[in-house]
């Protein structure tokens, strides 16, 4: 059995900064409400014509990760792409990235697990590397939320939360036993699937004739639906459980955590988890203030920034944890 390490990390966020004040010009909201409820001060949005898309941002983050890993794109054995906002309903973004990076015929797959997507994606990659089937896997989380949100007052409780961006990690076989991904822990609970959801094109909700028949669009749920308080309650419970599960599986204690990188759902969720585990500010990394919630991209963006700032170092115990639509949740325990 082999072990998997993270050999290189990269991130990309669009240049266009959208502040809470900017949003208040589009809808009935304000900086105080958004800051108090979510901790978010600004987020990045793709600007029409800037050339970005979910796959394009994924490629930009991947190029940085590959360079830092010192691994050629031709040595990538598998691409795993996590997103809830693909450029096409089909095919997935994985094959788009493969084409844009000019990689011949390696397998590429998309993971559709929303905020937990990156944890699921590295878990998939880890299994392939552990068994020896593949050596190098490119794992990407990327989202273009701004193209699919309702920026009128009707959609304000959802649209103020999300931002665009991408993060990538090159996972590779570790030469050192005990270094790398120690374990991953995945869960889902489909009975709450509709509490945070968006209907797909095959349900006919996006058929142009239906929209034309109903110009106000009042009854057409083609924007995401979120039962905010229900999501909040479940998130704090599941985050806590899955972090504990990961620690226990490796005989670790809370105080062994050098860095917890929670999915950047909402600063209040991160703070609840931090307080529950009595972690110091140095043990938790948050950047939702700058980027909003970028779902599958939030962990790789945060992990990349933490690493760039020297907050993730050799030998550190790094815990990644996420919860989101599905509901799905998971954690990864990594010895850096």
293 a catalytic residue: yes
Whichever of 118 and 323 has its CB closer to ligand ACO, that residue is: 323
Which one of 69, 121, 168, 265 is in contact with ligand ACO (CB under 6 A)?
A: 265
Token pair for 283: 């043990």
Q: Which of the ranges 32-40, 85-93, 99-107, 210-218 carries the binding residues for ligand ACO, by CB under 6 A?
A: 32-40
Nearest alpha carbon to residue 257 among 284, 275, 286, 287 = 284
Q: Is 307 in the site for ligand ACO (CB under 6 A)?
A: no
Which one of 205, 206, 232, 336 is in contact with ligand ACO (CB under 6 A)?
A: 232
Whichever of 2 and 120 has its CB closer to ligand ACO, that residue is: 120
Site residues (CB under 6 A) for ligand ACO, limited to 153-182? 156-157, 160-161
DSSP H helices, the chain, are 20-24, 31-38, 54-69, 93-100, 117-130, 156-159, 208-213, 228-249, 267-276, 288-291, 298-308
In sign, the C-alpha dihedral spanning 272, 276, 281, 286 is: negative
Q: Is 273 in the site for ligand ACO (CB under 6 A)?
A: no
176 a catalytic residue: no
Residues binding ligand ACO: number (CB under 6 A): 23
Q: Is 266 in the site for ligand ACO (CB under 6 A)?
A: yes
Question: What gap in Å lies between CA 244 and CA 259, rounded to an integer?
Answer: 14
> Among residues 52, 93, 263, 266, which one is catalytic?
263
Using alpha carbons only, give the angle 119, 260, 185 rounded to the nearest 5 degrees.
Answer: 35
Question: What gap in Å lies between CA 82 and CA 320, rounded to an integer?
Answer: 15
How many CB atoms neighbour CB 252 within 10 A? 16
Whichever of 148 and 228 has its CB closer to ligand ACO, that residue is: 228
263 a catalytic residue: yes
Which one of 85, 96, 113, 293 is in contact with ligand ACO (CB under 6 A)?
A: 293
Dmax (CA) of the chain: 62
Residues ≥6 apart with Cβ < 8 Å to 146: 18, 45, 46, 162, 163, 164
Q: How far is the CB of 326 from ligand ACO (least distance, A)?
A: 10
- For ligand ACO, the binding residues (CB under 6 A) are 29, 33-34, 37-38, 115, 156-157, 160-161, 196, 226, 228-229, 231-232, 235, 265-266, 269, 293, 323-324
Catalytic residues: 115, 263, 293
């Amino acid at each position: 059995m082999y072990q998997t390490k993270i050999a290189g990390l990269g991130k990309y966020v669009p240049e266009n900064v959208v502040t809470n004040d900017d949003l208040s010009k589009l809808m009935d909201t304000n900086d105080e409400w958004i800051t108090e409820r979510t901790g978010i001060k600004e987020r990045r949005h793709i600007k029409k014509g800037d050339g970005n898309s979910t796959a394009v941002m994924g490629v930009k983050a991947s190029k940085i990760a590959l360079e830092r890993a010192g691994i050629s794109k031709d040595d990538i054995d598998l691409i795993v792409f996590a997103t809830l906002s693909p450029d096409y309903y089909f095919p997935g973004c994985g094959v788009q990235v493969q084409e844009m990076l000019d990689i011949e015929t390696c397998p590429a797959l998309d993971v559709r697990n929303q905020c937990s997507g990156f944890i699921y994606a590295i878990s998939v990659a880890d299994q392939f590397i552990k068994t020896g089937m593949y050596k190098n896997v490119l794992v990407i989380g990327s989202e273009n939320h701004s193209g699919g949100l309702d920026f009128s007052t009707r959609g304000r409780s959802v649209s103020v939360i999300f931002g665009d961006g991408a993060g990538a990690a090159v996972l590779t076989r570790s030469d050192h036993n005990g270094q790398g991904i120690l374990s991953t822990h995945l869960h889902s609970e489909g009975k709450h699937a509709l509490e945070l959801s968006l209907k797909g094109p095959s349900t006919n909700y996006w058929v142009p004739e239906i929209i034309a028949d109903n110009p106000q669009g009042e009854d057409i749920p083609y924007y995401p639906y979120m039962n905010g308080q229900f999501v909040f309650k479940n998130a704090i419970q599941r985050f806590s459980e899955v972090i504990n599960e990961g620690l226990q599986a490796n005989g670790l204690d809370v105080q062994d955590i050098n860095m917890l990188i929670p999915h950047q759902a909402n600063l209040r969720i991160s703070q609840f988890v931090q307080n529950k585990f009595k972690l110091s500010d140095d043990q938790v990394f948050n950047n939702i203030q700058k980027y909003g919630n970028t779902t599958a991209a939030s962990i790789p963006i945060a992990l990349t920034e933490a690493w760039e700032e020297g907050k993730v170092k050799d030998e550190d115990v790094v815990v990644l944890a996420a919860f989101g639509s599905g509901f799905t949740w998971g954690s990864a325990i990594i010895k850096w």
